Structure 1
Amino acid sequence: MTWLITGGAGYIGAHVARAMTGAGERVVALDDLSTGVPERLPDEIPLITGSTMDADLVKQVFAEHGVTGVVHLAARKQVAESVAQPTRYYRENVGGLATLLEGACEAGIERFVFSSSAAVYGNPDVDLITEDTPCAPVNPYGETKLAGEWLVRAAGQAHGMATVCLRYFNVAGAAAPLLSDTGVFNIVPMVFDRLTRNEAPRIFGDDYPTPDGTCVRDYIHVADLAEAHLAAARRLTRGGAAGDLTVNIGRGEGVSVRELITVIGEVTGDGRAPVVEERRSGDAPRAVASAARAAEVLGWRARRGVREMVESAWQGWQLHHGK
């Protein structure tokens, strides 16, 4: 078995590549380096620089590296950017996936793991989001992930390829400082950025119908997420009734924005009070995964808590940004 990991030099991709290699899997990475960092990958993992939209390159990688399975993570993933540039998101996220799947089907690839997102659900009014919760994405990013799931399942059914779609919830943390997220797009690095600039963290709305009035989310350590990919890949390798699976990847536990900021203050030693601003459009009061199916079909459970996420992310932030 040789697994191609697209987006393999990215924040999540490098964690997945290292987890799979560490477990004895053979891995090759493909990344256009728009956000990826080559130094995240150890020397033993081949890194091909290029895009999934390059059909000739995709075919070349499959042939030259004897690829037998794909873990597809390469995608654009910023919600606000997707609203401003919807055609780019459809072109790269859906078009790139279509090109990759065409090459995979032509090469006889039998296993495909797709990086999806809880954004496919939109803002459901439920206590726990299960895989059967209706999908109603509220932005182009979520739409491209849902369309990607449809495409993966259809290609799998048409060509006898076993597939798994993993719907991530909120990813944080790092397995090592070098592997940490270098962007400032998610809540943990956004709070770090405010504190580093000697500014108070921001809370967007504190009048939601939640215990402390702030939004509640399910946070997953990126190292746990990487292990979920390994579990999914091995589930497909075992064959049998793998078929086409859709699985939430979360802890099944909710943490409010105010609770998370409190933990960040404890870890950083900067516990200044957050400032409350107006709600942001589209924020759901609560979005927490049911993690039951992941345990049942993948034999996977998250092992790391929110404090470990924040502590490891803070170490990475200090390495990349200083204080």
Structure 2
Amino acid sequence: MAVLVTGGAGYIGSHMVWALVDAGLDVVVVDRLSSGFGWAVAPEAKLVEADIADCDAIANIIRTHDVESIIHFAGSISVPESLADPMAYYQNNTVNSHGLIRTAIANGVKTFVFSSTAAVYGTPDDNEPITENAPLRPQSPYGTSKLMTEMMLADAAAAHDFRYVALRYFNVSGADPLGRTGQSTVGAINLIKVATETALGKRDAIEIFGADYPTRDGTCIRDFIHVTDLVAAHVDALDYLRGGGESLVANCGYGRGYTIREVLDAVRRASGRDFEVRLGARRHGDIITSIADSARARQVLGWQPRHDDLDEIVRSALAWEEHLQRRNQM
């Protein structure tokens, strides 16, 4: 029986596919290739170019490939973009997920792992690590669109023979240690991606949005998690569900935070280069401090992160950026 990975040609999804293939599983990828790349998909996986909004196509894929479980990454992920075009985010992240969940249930899929986000929390009441029981107060349509999908999953699980794990990501960065895939999206806004591009001269400068926050150096604080550890949490979630585990929500982060300036210093260390940093105004929707309490993932799913080191995350991201640079020069 196969695992269906939606968005499996994208950044996190392509790492997921490699991890599942490495584990010896049968993998089918559905991706419309709007921001992903067919070459990023492990060759052992079956890639179907389709949109999850096409419920007939998804139903046919589930039946044809005997899909047992779905890992759902397909979606839009930019907070600023969601503020500018909220309806597109509700369509892509919420409406399309509704169709996918409904089609999955109608075709006998019983286990589902969902790519959610720490943006569902908004700004916490204090600077302590955020638990899954923290108030849910998203500050952007991106966060709200993901929260609405979590709510649909909870209601679907209550009504059907269907169980899910929703993993709330903190800041995902880095690249496959074996160099097989990484963050390749053109125009991506992830901090470490932009910083490594700047260090290599692909961008003239990097901008800090707000340097007057009540933090140790005035810039926002984030919990950065290596993408390899994140996909390991998905493998653990899939094993948990296949073993009969009940539906749950779990955070994915390391429980420590770095400021924007500290991350830029790590990029300077890894690259041996300085680069221009411009100070800009605060952005609407940005959260001041976001740090995960991941005890539930560790204790219930058995997740054991192995790459909890900012310098390692940055080095892997830089190595991938250098790979892309060489690829583009060929």
| 1:141 is aligned to 2:142 | yes
* CA offsets 1:115-170 (integer angstroms, 9 cap, x no match): 10011111113211110011111111111100000011111221121110000000
Per the alignment, do residues 134 and 60 of structure 1 end up closer, same or farther by CA in structure 2, a change over 3 Å counting? same
Asked whether the 8 Å contact 2:4–2:71 carries over to 1, the reply is yes
**Structure 1 residues 312 and 133, CA gap change in structure 2 (3 angstroms):** same
| Superposed structure 1 runs of 4+ greater than 6 Å apart | none
* 2:207 counterpart (184, 202, 207): 202
1:180 match: 182
| Partner-residue secondary structure (3-state), 2:130 | coil
TM-superposed CA distance for 1:269, in Å, is: 1.1
1:60 maps to which residue? Answer: 60
The residue that corresponds to 2:109 in the other structure is: 109
TM-score by length of 2: 0.93
Residues 122-141 of structure 1: pairs in structure 2 closer than 5 A: 122-126=122-126, 127-141=128-142
Indicate the residue corresponding to 1:83 in structure 2: 83
- How many pairs were matched up? 321
The DSSP-based 3-state class of the residue aligned with 2:67 is coil
Cα contact 1:191–1:202 (8 A) shared by 2 = no
| Contact 2:68 2:110 (8 Å CA) reproduced | yes
1:201, CA displacement in angstroms? 3.4
Query: 1:44-103 CA distances to partner (integer Å, 9 max, x unpaired)?
Result: 100011011001101100000000111011001111221122111111211111111111
Pick aligned residue for 2:194 from 185, 190, 193: 190
SS in 1 for 2:172: strand
**Which amino acid is the alignment partner of residue 140 of structure 2?**
N
Find the aligned partners of 2:285 and 2:55 in 1 and give their Cα distance.
36
Aligned to 1:36, the other structure's residue is in SS state coil
Q: Secondary structure at the match of 1:179?
A: coil
Aligned equivalents of 1:19, 1:131: Cα separation in 2: 26
1:185-264 aligned at under 5 Å gives the runs 185-195=189-199, 196-197=201-202, 199-239=204-244, 242-264=245-267
Q: How far did 1:198 drift?
A: 6.7
| Deviating more after overlay: 254-263 vs 120-129 | 120-129
Question: Aligned partners of 2:76 and 2:286: how far apart in 1?
Answer: 20
Quote the Cα distance in structure 1 between the aligned partners of 2:118 and 2:203. 32
Q: What root-mean-square deviation, in Å, do the aligned CA atoms of Structure 1 and Structure 2 show?
A: 1.6
**In 2: Cα distance, 1:60 partner to 1:282 partner:** 39
Please list the CA deviations of residues 165-206 of structure 1 after superposition, one character each: whole Å capped at 9, or x if unmatched.
000000100004441112331111222333315744332223
Given candidates 302, 314, 317, the residue that maps to 2:318 is 314
Contact 1:250–1:302 at 8 Å: present in 2 too? Answer: no
Task: Pick from 268, 284, 292 the counterpart of residue 289 of structure 1.
Answer: 292
Does the Cα contact within 8 Å between 1:5 and 1:28 map onto a contact in 2?
A: yes
Tell whether the 8 Å contact from 2:204 to 2:276 is kept in structure 1 after alignment.
no
Aligned with residue 274 of structure 2, among 271, 274, 284? 271
Q: Alpha-carbon deviation of 1:281? A: 2.6
Corresponding residue for residue 71 of structure 1: 71
Query: What's the CA shift string for 1:199-243, capped at 9, x where partnerless?
Result: 44332223222222221100010111111110000000000xx22
Partners of 1:264 and 1:157 lie apart in 2 by: 46
SS in 2 for 1:71: strand
CA contact 2:198–2:275 (8 Å) conserved in 1: no
Distance 2:238 2:300 in 1: 12
State how 1:28-67 maps to structure 2 within 5 Å.
28-67=28-67
| d(CA) in 2 for partners of 1:7, 1:207 | 37
CA distance in 2, matches of 1:244, 1:52: 23
* Conservation of the 8 A alpha-carbon contact between 1:122 and 1:135: yes
Partner-residue secondary structure (3-state), 1:70? strand
Partner amino acid for 1:129? I
SS of equivalent residue, structure 2 residue 194: helix
Distance 1:95 1:309, change over 3 A: same
Give the counterpart letter for 2:300 in structure 1: V
TM-score, length-normalised on structure 1? 0.95
Structure 2 unaligned segments of length 5 or more: list them: none
Q: Distance in 2 between matches of 1:219 and 1:281?
A: 21
Query: Within 2, Cα distance between the matches of 1:158 and 1:198?
Result: 50
Q: Which amino acid aligns with 2:219?
A: T
Identity of aligned residues (%): 39
CA distance in 2, matches of 1:313, 1:265: 13
How far apart are the structure 1 equivalents of 2:69 and 2:232?
Answer: 17
Q: 1:249 offset after TM fit, Å?
A: 0.5
